[in-house]
Every structure is written in C-alpha cells, then in structure tokens.
C-alpha cells in the first residue's frame, strides 16, 4: 500500500470548499439568531455562537483525524462498528428522557446522540454488504439481510422515539434501488403460488422507488381533493364529482390520451403489450386512489386532524399548528432580499416566536434575514454539494466507496428536504437538523465525520487497484 505523501493532494477541494462555505453561513446564522448584546464576542463559550464555533472546530479536528487514518479500516471494521452502534442504541434507551425521548447519551451538558452515528455505521455496513453481492446472486436471503441492516437500527430509533431519524433511514432505500437490489425474490414467492402464473420478474420489486413516488403522489392528490366537489362543464353537460372520483376521472383522461398517442406512434406489436401495461396501471392507480379515500374516511378524528394540518386543509395557527405557522410567517416575511442580517423579527431567539430557531428551525432566520436571494444561494450550495458527492460516487472504482457515497448523498438530501420542508409546510414537523447549519454538537460531529470518511475514501480511491 502506498504511503500518503500529502494529505491535501487527493482531497476533493470543491466539496471541501462547499463544506467550509456552509459551515461559515451556518455559524453566521447562529450568531444572528442567538445574538446577545452583552456578549458580542463569538469566542465566548457562554453563548450559543461561541459553542457552535467550538463544535465546528472540533468537528474539523475530527475530520483531520479521519483523514489521517487509512480508509481501509472502514470496510474491514464495518461489522464491529455497526454492532457497537447497536449496543449504544440499546443503552440509550435506558437513559433518562430529554424532551420525551431517550436520545441522549452522556453526562451533564455534554452528550451525543447515538442515532446520529448510526447513520454512518449503517451506511458502512450496507456498503460493505451490497458491494459483496453480484446482481445475479440475489436471493430471498440477501434481500432480507440488506433490509435487516436497516431495520434493526430503525426499530431501536423508533423506540426512543425519534421519528425524524427514523424517516431519514428510509433514504437507504434509494441507495438499494440505485444498486439494483430487488425485492423480486420475495414477491415472486407469493405471486408464483397463484396457479398458472410463472413470472421471472415482477418489475414491481426492482422499481420500488418510482412506484413509491406514484403511490405517495396519488395519495396526496386524493386527500387534497377529498373535501372538494369538482364541477366539470363538458359542452354544457355539467358533471359533479367528489374529489376522489375526480382523481380517477383524471387518470381515465390520461389513459385515453396515452391510448390515442399510442395509436399514432407505435407499432402493432408494441401496442398490445403497452395497452396491457397502461390498463393495469389505470386499474391499480384507481384502486389506490379509491383505497386512500375510503381509508382516510375510516381514520379517527385526531388522526384526520394531523393529516389535514399537514396538508394545509385545516388551520390552527395558535394551537396544533403553532410551530409551522410561525416558521412559515418567518420565512414568508423575508421577501426578495430579506430583512437584513440580524434583523429577523419573528425568528430571533430574543423574540422566540419560532421555537428551536437555532436548531431544527434555523432555516427560518436565514430565510427571514436574506430573503429569497439568500435561499437561492443556499439551495445552489446544497445542490452543488449533492451533485459533487454523486460525481465522486460515480468515479469510484470500488463498489464499497460508491455505495457509501450514495448513502451520504441521500442522507444529506433527506435532511435538507425534510428540514426545509418543515419550514415551508411541505413536511411534517419532525425534529431533524439542517446539516452543517443547525446549532448542536452531535449533528455537527456526525455529519463532518460522515463527509470526511467520504473525502478520505475518495482520496484513496486509486489505491484499490494497486
């Protein structure tokens, strides 16, 4: 193995640069939110910005340590690391609850959240396991093993309970999808028990992500239109539809249009096959829409309330919907150019209208102070980071590295999408931090370590063939 000649030679500078920019913006926002006139110095650790600066420096130091260690150990020790994390996840359940969740491990004011580090160890083990497979080897056993690697920590995290991190773990499904992992072996077992059916693949098992999209999309549309009565005026013939029948009606229209397009542009042989697919699609979608509609009707009142609040069908700005309403007011009042640095009136810690505005809701003060222009900058930065990670992923020679990189990309994206979604009414309020932005040591350390492992793997990518 080649000795490291220079730490910096193989470092991916664009990604590292984006990281530093993000850390700086995050620190600036924490400084603005938590600003205390009595202690304006950022080097004073009695204030949140002082501590955040410390966490950033400490995280970068951890990153340096990671960079000094040979990347080979991650693959070699993936299983022990994973098991150690599981132990911590079990131990943390016996710790006293903070804010109703047994999530913190530690003494006094210094604590870590094992769930944060479980993301890394799960990524490592998943990468190790999937990289050891070939597509043709996939059996029921391999699918179940891969799923278990996710499910065990997920269950432990749900016991804390920590719904946010639990949801983040579903990001690994994208990685599995990318790597061609298929649930077909399990599905086929069921499907092929039907007499006269002998499929080699179900298509559903391997394309579960696009199917998931369609499912979620259809459900949301159905729920949104649930209480609406649509009036369709077709050449003087007025058609009154309930919301869910409207969705089915819309699906039928799409079906007819596709059918007309197909008549025009496809050959006879293809047509038959695609007609079957289209018809099946229509039937299944309609069934889903119908099912969601009926299922929603059977929910309990408080469950309905939750869903209606989330979808914005009901308003309760001072009660159940307090957090989101205040957060949206803060973000929405930012305007095009914002209110100016340290001028956030709704979301500063002093005004305290938006709870947790230095941690989970840190996007609020940022958007309020910098407006849409600032939001655009932040989005571009995040997008750049994600794309850079995917670029890094795709240039890896070792499957382990690639899979790990995808894990990092998807975790970061999930955090980004859910956290900002919370601020604009697109996601339910589940407390997860905005990576590299939110105040807090645990998330800062775990995200940095996660990213530096990737940077290290990338730096050593050429070693694989030597």
Partner 1 sequence: MNLDARRNVILVFIFLVIGIYLFKLFYMQVIDETWTLRAQEIAEKRKEIFPPRGVIFDRNGKKIVTNQTYYNLMMVEDSIQNFDTANFAKLIGWSVQDVRNRFKEIVAGEGTYFNKITGKRTPNYQTIRAYPFLKELTLEEMSKIAPHLANFKGFYEIATSARNYPYKSAANILGYLSEVYREEIEEDRFYKPGNNIGRSGIERFYEKELRGVKGIKYIVTSALNNAIESYADGKYDTIARQAPPLKMGMDVELQTYGEQLMQKKKGCIVALDPTTGEILSMVSAPSYDPNLLVGKRNISANYPKLARDPNLPLFPRPLQAEYPPGSIFKLVQSLIAMQEGVITANTGFPCDKSLVGCHNHPSARNIAEAIQYSCNPYYYMAVRRIIQQGVKKNNFADAEYGLGKWYKYIRSFGLGGIFDTDVSGQRPGLIPSPAFYDKWYGHHTWAFSTIRSISIGQGEVKLTPLQMANIVAIIANKGWYYTPHFVRAIGKNGALPQFEKKRWTMINYRHFGPVIEGMRRVVNEAGGTGKMARLTDITVCGKTGTVQNPHGEDHSVFFAFAPINKPKIAIAVFVENAGWGGTWAAPIASLIIEKYLKGKVSDLDKEKRILEAQIAYQTNN
Q: Which residues bind partner 1 (CB under 8 A)?
A: 135, 174, 177-180, 206, 209-210, 213, 317, 325-326, 328-336, 339-340, 343, 345-346, 348, 350-353, 367-368, 371-372, 375-376, 379, 383, 386, 390, 394, 410, 413, 417, 420-421, 424-426
Query: Among residues 63 and 205, whose Cβ is nearest to partner 1?
Result: 205
Q: How far apart are CB 463 and partner 1 at their closest, in Å?
A: 24
Query: Among residues 371 and 433, whose Cβ is nearest to partner 1?
Result: 371
Q: How far apart are CB 371 and partner 1 at their closest, in Å?
A: 6
What separation, in Å, do the N-terminal and C-terminal C-alpha atoms of the chain show? 7
Q: How far apart are CB 180 and partner 1 at their closest, in Å?
A: 5
Cβ-in-10-Å burial (0-12, 13-18, 19+) of 329 comes to: middle
Query: Among residues 108 and 210, whose Cβ is nearest to partner 1?
Result: 210
The DSSP-derived string for 135-194 is: GGG--HHHHHHHHHHHHHHHHHHHHTT-HHHHHHHTHHHHHHHHTT--SHHHHHHHHTTS
The DSSP-derived string for 374-406 is: HHHHHHHHHHHHHHHHHHHHHT-SSHHHHHHHH
Q: How far apart are CB 130 and partner 1 at their closest, in Å?
A: 12
- The gap from C-alpha 82 to its chain's centroid, in whole angstroms, comes to 21
Q: How far apart are CB 397 and partner 1 at their closest, in Å?
A: 15
Query: Among residues 89 and 221, whose Cβ is nearest to partner 1?
Result: 221
Q: How far apart are CB 266 and partner 1 at their closest, in Å?
A: 21
User: Distance between CA 178 and CA 175 in Å, rounded?
Assistant: 5
Query: Among residues 53 and 328, whose Cβ is nearest to partner 1?
Result: 328
**Full 3-state SS string of 189-212:** HHHCCCCCCCCCCCCCCCCHHHHH
Q: Which residues contact 424 (CB under 8 A, 6 or more apart)?
A: 328, 331
Q: How far apart are CB 88 and partner 1 at their closest, in Å?
A: 30
9-12 long-range CB contacts below 8 Å, 24 or more apart?
9/459, 10/458, 10/459, 10/460, 10/462, 11/67, 11/455, 11/459, 12/388, 12/392, 12/455, 12/458, 12/459
Q: How far apart are CB 387 and partner 1 at their closest, in Å?
A: 8
User: Distance between CA 65 and CA 46 in Å, rounded?
Assistant: 27
* Tokens found for residue 96: 């006293």
Query: Among residues 199 and 426, whose Cβ is nearest to partner 1?
Result: 426
Q: How far apart are CB 344 and partner 1 at their closest, in Å?
A: 9
Q: How far apart are CB 349 and partner 1 at their closest, in Å?
A: 10
* Tokens found for residue 353: 């209208």
What backbone phi and psi angles, to 5 degrees, belong to 110?
-95, 120
Residue-wise burial string across 27-62, b where 16 or more C-beta atoms lie within 10 A, e elsewhere: bbbbbbbbbeeeeeebeeeebbbbbbbebbeebbeb
């Amino acid at each position: 193995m080649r000795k490291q000649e220079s730490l910096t030679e193989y470092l991916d500078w664009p990604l590292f640069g984006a990281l530093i920019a993000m850390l700086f913006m995050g620190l600036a926002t924490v400084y603005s939110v938590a600003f205390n006139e009595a202690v304006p110095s950022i080097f004073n650790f009695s204030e949140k910005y002082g501590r955040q600066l410390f966490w950033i420096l400490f995280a970068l130091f951890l990153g340096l340590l990671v960079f000094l260690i040979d990347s080979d150990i991650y693959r070699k020790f993936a299983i022990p690391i994973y098991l150690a994390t599981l132990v911590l996840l079990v131990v943390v359940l016996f710790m006293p609850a903070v804010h109703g969740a047994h999530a913190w491990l530690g003494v006094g004011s210094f604590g870590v959240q094992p769930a944060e580090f479980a993301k890394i160890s799960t990524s490592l083990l998943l990468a190790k396991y999937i990289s050891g497979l070939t597509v043709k080897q996939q059996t029921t056993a391999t699918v179940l093993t891969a799923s278990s690697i996710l499910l065990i920590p997920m269950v432990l995290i749900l016991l804390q309970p920590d719904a946010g991190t639990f949801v983040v773990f579903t990001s690994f499904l994208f990685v599995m999808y990318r790597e061609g992992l298929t649930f077909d072996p399990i599905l086929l077992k069921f499907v092929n028990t039907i007499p006269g059916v002998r499929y080699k693949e179900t298509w559903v098992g391997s394309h579960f992500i696009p199917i998931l999209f369609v499912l979620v999309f259809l459900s949301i549309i159905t729920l949104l239109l649930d209480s609406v009565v649509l009036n369709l005026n077709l050449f003087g013939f007025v058609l009154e539809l309930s919301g869910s029948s409207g969705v089915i009606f819309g699906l039928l229209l799409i079906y007819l249009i596709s059918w007309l397009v197909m008549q025009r542009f496809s050959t006879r042989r293809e047509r038959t096959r695609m007609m079957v697919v289209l018809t099946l699609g229509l039937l299944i979608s309609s069934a889903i829409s119908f099912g969601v509609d009926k299922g929603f009707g059977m929910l309990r009142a408080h469950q309905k309330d939750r869903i209606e609040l989330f979808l914005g069908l009901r308003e309760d700005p001072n009660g159940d919907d307090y957090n989101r309403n205040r957060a949206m007011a803060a973000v929405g009042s930012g305007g095009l150019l914002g209110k100016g640095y340290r001028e956030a009136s709704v979301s500063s810690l002093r005004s305290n209208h938006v709870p947790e505005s230095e941690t989970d809701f840190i996007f609020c003060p940022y958007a309020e102070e910098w407006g849409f222009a600032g939001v655009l900058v932040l989005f571009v930065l995040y997008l750049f980071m994600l794309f850079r990670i995917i670029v890094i992923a795709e240039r890896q020679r070792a499957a382990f590295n690639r899979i790990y990189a995808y894990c990092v990309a998807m975790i970061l994206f999930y955090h980004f999408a859910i956290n900002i979604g919370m601020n604009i009414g697109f996601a339910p309020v589940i407390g997860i931090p905005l990576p590299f932005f939110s105040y807090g040591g645990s998330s800062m350390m775990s995200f940095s370590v996660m990213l530096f492992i990737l940077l290290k793997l990338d730096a050593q990518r050429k070693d694989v063939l030597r």
